[in-house]
Amino acid sequence: MKNLLLFLLISVSGFTFGQSMNEIKNMVQSINKTKDFKIKTVPYSYYLNKSVVTDSGIELKGFYKNGKLRKMEYFVGLSVWNVITQYFFSEKNQIIFVYEKRYLTRGENAEVINPKLVSEKRFYFMNFKLYKKTGNEDGEENPDYVRESLDLINDLKQYK
């Protein structure tokens, strides 16, 4: 009896989690299909004034629909990498998904090359907690995307 109860509990929680994952994927697809966002861009100069400097710049874009932030795109250009991170938010302003891509921009002898995609990662969130991550493991520790998203939202609010 205990085994049956445990099996049912695991099955129901797995089904619920799978359903939530599908909901997140559907919300992200819907956000990506939206065409008439109001876009606010925070340029590199804003970050220079905050003494945040990179080799190839920083740019943050906030995508708003009906006054609500639905997506952010954060570009960071480093000496060898370009990192593009997209953050997606629910109607209730909760982070639901993060998609990070890393591009190699320098070759073995430090020569400039066409950006080459070397890493893709996906992070799924529910109630501000990481529930699942997928993608290339590159040995680097993943940032606290919840905290980072709040910092970036603050940058969007402060930039005039």
pLDDT in tens, 131-157: 888 887 666 677 899 999 999 999 999
Measured in degrees and rounded to the nearest 5, phi and psi for residue 134 equal: -140, 160
| Choice between 128 and 137, residue whose per-residue pLDDT is larger | 128
Q: Return the pLDDT at 106.
A: 78
Please give the share of the chain, as a percent, with pLDDT higher than 70.
86
Mean predicted confidence (pLDDT) in 116-142: 85
Is residue 123 over pLDDT 70?
A: yes
Residue 85 to residue 95: CA distance in whole angstroms = 13
Q: Return the pLDDT at 48.
A: 87
Confidence band, pLDDT 50/70/90 cuts, at residue 2: low
Amino acid at position 156, single letter: L
Under 8 Å between Cβ of 76 and 54:
yes
Place of tokens 């445990």: 6
Other beta carbons less than 10 A from residue 50's beta carbon: 10
Amino acid at position 66, single letter: N
Which of 79, 118, 122 has its CA nearest to residue 97?
122
Mean predicted confidence (pLDDT) in 38-54: 89
Is residue 1 over pLDDT 70?
A: no
Q: Return the pLDDT at 131.
A: 85
